[in-house]
Amino acid sequence: MTKYISVFWLLFLVLLSCAKVIDFPPVDFEKEATMNAFVIAGEPILVHLSSSDYIEGGELHPITDAEILIYSNGELIDHDIYSESGWYYSEIIASEGKSYCIRAALTQGDTLIANQTVPVNPGIIAINHINEAGVDEEGVAYPSVKVTLENKLERTHYYEIILKYREREEVQIPEIIFIDDPLLLRTGLPLLLFTDEGVTGEVYTVSINYTTGSVSGSVDGGEKMQLYPLTVELRAVTEEYYSYREYYYLNMQSQRELEPGQMNYPVPLYSNVNNGYGVVVAFSSVVSDVIDPNE
């Protein structure tokens, strides 16, 4: 018996001595200049420049020595722009219906270029909040918001709706459930992105079912959702904004599906920046008055 134990330990020590941590060098990844910017109607234009890196590469590497040039309808409107840690703060206030070209001239490399036209927001015609729009699989009555918009027939328009409610002192974004609106179903994603393509009437209504995740009281033998005062924001967005939101959601879902400990390298998301990476998008926004479902 002692002989077998000795052989076992000898074999274990041999195998242990063969164990070695293999250090896999990172895949070569060439850093590229990246420009990101929001052009929001009624707000100053804000641009961020950085160098792309691995997802686990730590902090962003800001580009601080670029020259930002902003054009509107072919005319230079801003060039002496204050910068800090890769952020470039223009004093130009973006306006609905205007086109902007942002050019970032790098001291080493190309000039990054992106163009956007700020959409005109049609506004919200009406909002109807339904406290008990349906019942979920657990028998809880959930609410719905119906948002009515004007239909502009000359071309396809892109929109995003954002719901927010205040629970105590915190502003929350509710989870969207049971999507059954034809316009919202087009993307196949649980996002409040939609277009008016194919809509023929002068007005149309988008229906949004949501949950606050809280139950309070009962109705007709079942439970009902705890409701809070909320607002409805309508964003008229560019096609580039619409595309980026889709790509971003799908990419984040793929990241969550990675096994623990796995590392993923950057993947090319949607980009509309010439000579580099990044996304420059524009939108205009209107926000409703506070809606209190409990009144």
The per-residue pLDDT for 4 is 44
Is the separation of the CB atoms in 227 and 143 below 8 Å? Answer: yes
- Its pTM stands at 0.82
More confident residue, 270 or 43: 43
The beta-strand segments (E) located in 85-219 are: 87-93, 99-105, 111-117, 124-135, 140-150, 158-167, 170-172, 175-176, 193-195, 203-211, 215-219
pLDDT digits (tens, 9 = 90+) for 84-94: 989 999 999 99
Least confident of 8-22, 57-71, 227-241: 8-22
Nearest Cα residue to 118 out of 102, 100, 96, 136: 96
* Tens digits of residue pLDDT in 212-221: 988 876 666 6
Name the more confident of 232 and 58.
Answer: 232
Query: Could you tell me the residue ranges of all domains in the chain?
Result: 33-119+239-285, 124-235
Domain 33-119+239-285 in this protein, CATH class: mainly beta
Q: Measuring CA to CA, how many Å separate 6 from each of 13, 17, 18? A: 11, 17, 19
The answer to whether the beta carbons of residues 156 and 172 sit under 8 Å apart is: no
**Exposed (0-12), middle (13-18) or buried (19+): which is 2, by Cβ within 10 Å?**
exposed
